[in-house]
Amino acid sequence: MTTPSDDFPEGPRPVQPTIPSNLTGVPDSAALGSTLTTADSPFSAAPTSAVSAQPAGKVKVRGRLLKLMLSMSVANLAIFGIWGAVPGILLPLQVQGIVGDDPTAKAGALAVIATIGAFAAMVAQPIAGTVSDRTRSRFGRRAPWMVGGVLIGGLALIGMGVGSTLVQVGIAWVIVQIAYNFAQGPLSAILPDRVPSAVRGTFSALSGLGLMLGALGGQIAGAAFATAIPAGYLVFAGVALVVLVLFVVLNPDRSNRGEPKPPFDFVAFLKTFWVSPVKHPDFFWGFTGRLLLFAGYFMVTGYQLYILQDYIGLKDKAVALVPLLGILSLAGTLISTLIGGPLSDKLGRRKIVVIVAGIILAISLVFPLVMPTVTGMLVFSFVSGLGFGAYQSVDTALMSEVLPSKDDFAKDLGVLNIAATLPQTLAPGLAGLIVVAFGGAYTPLFPIGIVIAIVGAFAVLPIKSVR
C-alpha cells in the first residue's frame, strides 16, 4: 500500500514497478517506474530502489527527503573526518614518532602500513555491501552494519592510540579500515535505495560536501591533536559513533524480515572484483575514472605533512600550516560543490562537470611543482578544492546511474567505493614508495599526479548511459 507524503505530493504509484536490470538510464523517469513501498517510511530499502525515478518537475527536496539528505551529509562528514585526520596527519606523525625523522625511513614505514590497510579496505567494501544487501532485520538491511562498523572501528582507533610499535599500529589500522568500510559501504547505498534520480545531483552535492568537509576538516582537526594523538583517535571515534547512531534513529528503515533474500553466488561475488569492460562498460569506465582522479588528488594531499616537512622545508613548523591549507581547500570546495551538483541537474549532464573538475585538479598540481614554496602550496590547496569539490558534487549521482544490478546496490557501490577508499588510504604509501624510489626526491609526485588526474577525467567519456 502506498500513501502520499510531503516529499511526493502527487500521490501513490504502483507498488511493484518494472525496473530494468541495469540502472543506467537518463536521470529522469523515462525508463523506470516509481513508488512508495510502505506507509511507515517513504524511503524504504526496497531492492528495486523504488523512489529512484520521480519526474524532475514533481520531486521536491523537503520533509523526510531533506532530513535524509542533510543527515547523510553529516554522516559522511563524520566518517571522512577520520580518513582526513588519520592517514593524512595522525598516522604519519605516529609513524614518525616510532621510526624517527629520517625521510626515507618514515616514508617506507608509512608505505607498508598504508598499503596493507588499503588492501583490507578494498576487500571489506564489496563484502560489506554483499552482506548488507542480504541482511534481514527489524531495522532494515543497512542500519545494523552502519552502527556495528563505527562501534568496532572506534575501538580499533583507540587501540591505535596505545600502540607503541609499527606492528601494533598496523594491525589496529587494518581493523579500522575493515570496520569503517563496513559502515561506509551500506551508508553509500542509501542514495540508490531511497533518492529519486531527478534530484540525485543536488543530493550528491550535499553528500559530497559532507565528504569533503570531513576529509579536509579532519586534517584541520587532526593537526590540533598533533601532540595528543591518542586523544585525537578517541574524539574522532566518538563523533563517528554518535553521528551514525543518530542517522539511523532519524532516518529509520522499515523491517524487512519477511523479504526473501536474493540468491548468493560465491563465484559471481569473486568476479565482482573485476569489472568487465565488455559486460558493464559504463560501470568499468566510471570505476576507472573515480580511481584515477582520487589517486591523482590524494597522492599529494594524503602525503601533505611529509611534503611540507621535507619538500617545502618547514620541518617542525609543517603541522601549523595544515589548518590554513585545509581552510583554503574548504573554501574552494564550498564554491564548486554548491554550484556543480545543481548545475548538473539543471543541464541534465554529469560527464562535462567531471571532465572540467579533473582538468582543474591537474592544473592545481602544477603550482607546487613550479613553486616549491608555502605560496605554491596555498594556491594548490584552493585550486584543488575547486576541482575536487566540483567532481565530488556529481560523482555519486553519476556512479549511481551506472550500477550493473538492481538487486545488489550496496555490493556494487562497495566495489565502486574501492575506487574512492583505495586511493585515499593507499596514496600516502604510494607516494612514499615514489619518494624512496627517487632517492628522497618529492618532485616526481606532481607530474605523476597530473597525468593520472587528466586520464581519470577523460575516462568518463566512453560512458553512454549518462550524458
Sign of CA dihedral 291, 296, 302, 303: positive
Q: Please state the pTM of the whole predicted model.
A: 0.71
Sign of CA dihedral 399, 402, 404, 408: positive
Residue 390 burial class via C-beta count within 10 angstroms: exposed 0-12, middle 13-18, buried 19 and up: buried
The residues near 436 (Cβ < 8 Å, ≥ 6 apart) are: 104, 107, 108, 111
Flag whether pLDDT at 320 surpasses 60.
Answer: yes
Nearest-10 crossing angle of helices 103-133, 166-188: 40
Flag whether pLDDT at 364 surpasses 80.
Answer: yes
Residue pLDDT, tens place only, 433-447: 888 788 778 889 899
Flag whether pLDDT at 46 surpasses 70.
Answer: no
**288 within a domain of the structure (yes/no):** yes
Give the pLDDT mean for 436-462: 87
The residue segments making up the domain with residue 305 are: 71-255+280-458
The alpha carbons of the chain give a radius of gyration, in whole angstroms, of 21
Q: How much helix, strand and coil, in percent to the nearest 5, is found in the chain?
A: 70, 0, 30
Residue pLDDT, tens place only, 144-179: 899 999 999 999 999 999 999 999 999 999 999 999
Flag whether pLDDT at 1 surpasses 60.
Answer: no
Helix (H, G, I), strand (E, B) or coil at 25: coil
Question: Which set of grid coordinates corresponds to residue 221?
Answer: 582537526
**152 within a domain of the structure (yes/no):** yes
Report the C-alpha gap between 299 and 282 in whole angstroms.
26
50: left (phi over 0), alpha (psi -120 to 50) or beta: alpha
391: left (phi over 0), alpha (psi -120 to 50) or beta: alpha
Flag whether pLDDT at 190 surpasses 60.
Answer: yes
**27 within a domain of the structure (yes/no):** no
Helix (H, G, I), strand (E, B) or coil at 126: helix
For residue 283, the Cα-to-chain-centroid distance in whole angstroms is 17
**164 within a domain of the structure (yes/no):** yes
Residue pair 16/2 in contact (Cβ under 8 Å)? The answer is: no
Report the C-alpha gap between 214 and 81 in whole angstroms.
4
Q: Identify the CATH number of the domain in which residue 215 sits.
A: 1.20.1250.20
| Among 21-25, 116-120, 262-266, 426-430, the range of highest mean pLDDT | 116-120
Amino acid type, 156: A
**418 within a domain of the structure (yes/no):** yes
Report the C-alpha gap between 236 and 80 in whole angstroms.
10
If you count them, how many residues does the chain have?
Answer: 467
- Could you say which DSSP state residue 465 is in? S
pLDDT computed for residue 256 by the predictor:
72
Flag whether pLDDT at 12 surpasses 70.
Answer: no
Phi (first) and psi of residue 361, to 5 degrees: -60, -45
**271 within a domain of the structure (yes/no):** no
- In total, how many domains does the chain have? 1
What mean pLDDT value characterizes the chain? 77
Give the pLDDT mean for 295-312: 85
Residue with cell 621510526: 99
**109 within a domain of the structure (yes/no):** yes
Report the C-alpha gap between 20 and 417 in whole angstroms.
23
**26 within a domain of the structure (yes/no):** no
